[in-house]
Amino acid sequence: MVLTTITKAVRMRGKIALLILASALFFPVLSHGQSQSQGLSLKEIDARVAEYRKWLDKVGNNGSRYWVRLDSTKRPHRLYVGDGFMHASATEKEEFVEIFSRFLAGHPEKNMLIDIYDASTGKEIGEYGFGGFRLFDPPRP
């Protein structure tokens, strides 16, 4: 009986210690995320997303042809890029995909995962995700 009481007390201390440790690790993540999101008001977020939309329209199908179409029926989104994207510099390509990702996420501080496809061939040529922006190496002949 005494051994059972001691065992229960030790288990309870272990559970409490685990709960405290988990709380200490989890709550800073929540408070950090809230402080970033609270830096922008809803109007500022909407204004930035509207700016992204205007710019994407300019570089879209009727403009520089950076992008031709978007397939959002699958996740990650499939972004089909055109001639303008293919001839852009590496920096311009990365900035374009990052802005497109933020537009899809609907927030200037968040990103959406994107698979990048060549509109002329239909083949996947890159991605934007947790590892950042990456174009695949061109296939060898």
The domain limits of the chain are: 1-39, 42-135
Question: For the chain, where are the E strands, in sequence order?
Answer: 67-71, 77-81, 114-118, 124-129, 132-135
Q: What does the pLDDT look like over 82-128, one tens digit per residue?
A: 999 999 999 999 999 999 999 999 999 999 999 999 999 999 999 99
Residue 39 binned pLDDT confidence (cut-offs 50, 70, 90): confident
Residue 102 makes CB contacts below 8 A (sequence gap 6+) with 48, 49, 52, 108, 109, 110, 111, 112
Residue 31 binned pLDDT confidence (cut-offs 50, 70, 90): very low
* Token pair listed for 96: 């374009």
Higher pLDDT, 31 or 18: 18
Percentage of the chain beyond pLDDT 70 is 71
Query: Cβ of 78: how many Cβ atoms within 10 Å?
Result: 17
